[in-house]
Amino acid sequence: MLTLGWEHEVGRSLHAWVREAEVPGAVVQHDVLTPFAPPLPPETTLLAWSTQDGRYHRAGREDVEVRVVGSQRLWQARHDAAGSKEPTEERPVFLGQLDEVALPRRLTLGAADSACRSTTALYRPGPGETGRLARAAHSFLRRRGIELQDPALPLAEQARPVIAVFSADLLEAAVRGMPAWVHAPRGAPGWLAEHWERYDLRPLGGEPTPAPAVGADEPARLIAQILEGGS
């Protein structure tokens, strides 16, 4: 059985059944990892994006096996971008993360303000930025002369640079050939620097993030082979 984890009730029930029925269980990595990623279920196999991610998420546990399959999202992005044109928009877009539980709002708002004002980037509200506090933050950014982008506009279709505190969207942008950077003001938590290093994310002001390595085999096919009992 394959799941995205057991942090929700349905996943916890499924993994409890897996252990009782002695059915092999696996969790597929579906996003970049932070210290706030939910712990893995007991006696499971992690299908990781990379060896580094597998080691990080396993965190020394002896009951978790790691199989590196890569990221289907990044694999698909590389193939979709094959033969595509160079970036046509010079103005970057900053990915809003005011609803990100891993970071304090003062940091995500401060990062957006400083990055957008120094690069004239558009601010793209995150999908959860709909509450009163988020709307107040958007008003603050507008008063600072920052233009907001319609989040309904697909990010993958924009040929423009991307900036964020951290996000899998940065890796996808790099794979597609778009310049991508991370940015955080002073006072960022210590784990953020480790996160940037693990994914080779480059700070704003320097060279853009290099495209992450993507294997020749499609991750979905590798996962299917593992679930079928193959190598």
Which has more confidence, 60 or 193? Answer: 193
Nearest to 206 by CA among 173, 172, 183: 183
Domain ranges of the chain: 2-70+215-227, 93-198
* Overall average pLDDT of the 138-144 stretch: 97
Tens-place pLDDT, residues 11-49: 888 888 888 888 888 999 999 999 999 899 988 999 999
Band of residue 90 on the pLDDT scale cut at 50, 70, 90: confident
* Overall average pLDDT of the 161-174 stretch: 96
pTM: 0.91
Whether the pLDDT of residue 123 is over 60: the answer is yes
Whether the pLDDT of residue 57 is over 80: the answer is yes
